[in-house]
Structure 1
C-alpha cells in the first residue's frame, strides 16, 4: 500500500513524496514521477555535482545534492530511484476519479459539483467510501480528484486521521496543504479555499 511510503524532506528544499518531487522552499517546482524516465548522476564537469532527472520530453532537471560529496549525490539519486520504483510498482486499479477532477470547470462550478456529490440525497451520488479512498490514496490520480475525494471523506470525522496520512506522504505543496486542511477541524469554506488552489 503506497501510504506506507515515508516522505523525505532534505535541507536543500527537496521533498520526495509518494507522487513526485518538490524542489525549492518558497516557490517550489513539482515534478511528478509519471514524467521521470531516468535518474542518474551527471557526467559532465559542471553536471557532476548534481543528480539529473531525465523527463519524458527530453528535458534534464539537475538537483544539487550538497557540495562536492559524491556520497550525498549517490544518496539523493538512490532515494529518488527507490521512490520512483515504489510509485511504478503500485497496482493501478481503475478508479472513478474523472467526475471528481476539476477539468475545465471554474472554481465555483467545481465546488458546487462536489457539494452535490457529497449530498446523500443527490440522485447521481454513487461514490462509495471505498471508491473515494481509492482515488485519494493513489498518487497517480489527478491531484484535483484526490483533493476532491478528501473533501468528501472529511464529512466523517473518523476519516480525518487517514486523510492526514495521505497529506504527510505528498510532495506537491498545494495538494499537501489541501489534504492537511481536509484532515483538520477547519470550517468547510476554509477547506474549499485550499481545495480551489490545487491544479491538475
Structure 2
C-alpha cells in the first residue's frame, strides 16, 4: 500500500469535531485521545524502564507487510532500549486472523506474548487453526492455560479489538501495517533507516510521546 505520513494531532482534532453524536446526544465517537491509543490497559506492550518514545502498530498476523515490518521493529527495540512497542491487533484478514489475535492477546496473562507474537509473525503461509497451534508450541505457550485465560478474559479482549477497530476506522486507516511514532502516523512497512528517522523526530517533539 502507499505510504503516507500524517500529523496525528491535527487528524484527531478534526475527527473529534466531525464525528457525529447520537440523537440522544451521547457520544458515538471512539476515544481518540493519545492515552487511549498508546496506553490501553489491555493492549500488549513491550516496555523497558525509562522509555521515551512509543511506537503503536496496527497489524494483522496474516498481513505479509506486517510480517516484513516485524523484524525491523524487533531490531529497533533491541538496539534502542528507550523505545516502547504497543501492539494494536487489527485482524482484518478474516476469522483466522481474529483467532490469532485473541489468542496472542490472551497469552500475555502467562507472560508469553512476545515469543508467541514472534512465532505467529514468522509462520509460513496463511495462518489457520493448525498454524496458530503450531506457533503456540514453538513459543512454549501453555495451551490449556491459554484456553482458560481466553475464556476468563475473552470479554476484555473482544472489547480491546472493538476499540482498536473503532480507532482505526475513525483515523481513516485502510490497511496494515500502520505505525504511530510520536505525533506521526505512517502507513505501510518502512525500512530500518526510515524507522530510526521517525524515532529521532519523535524525540525532538517529546510532548507528542
TM-score range, shorter chain: under 0.3
TM-score under structure 1 length normalisation: 0.24
Structure with bigger helix share is: 2
Greater relative contact order (Cα < 8 A, sep 6+): 2
TM-score under structure 2 length normalisation: 0.23
User: Between Structure 1 and Structure 2, whose CA radius of gyration is higher?
Assistant: 1
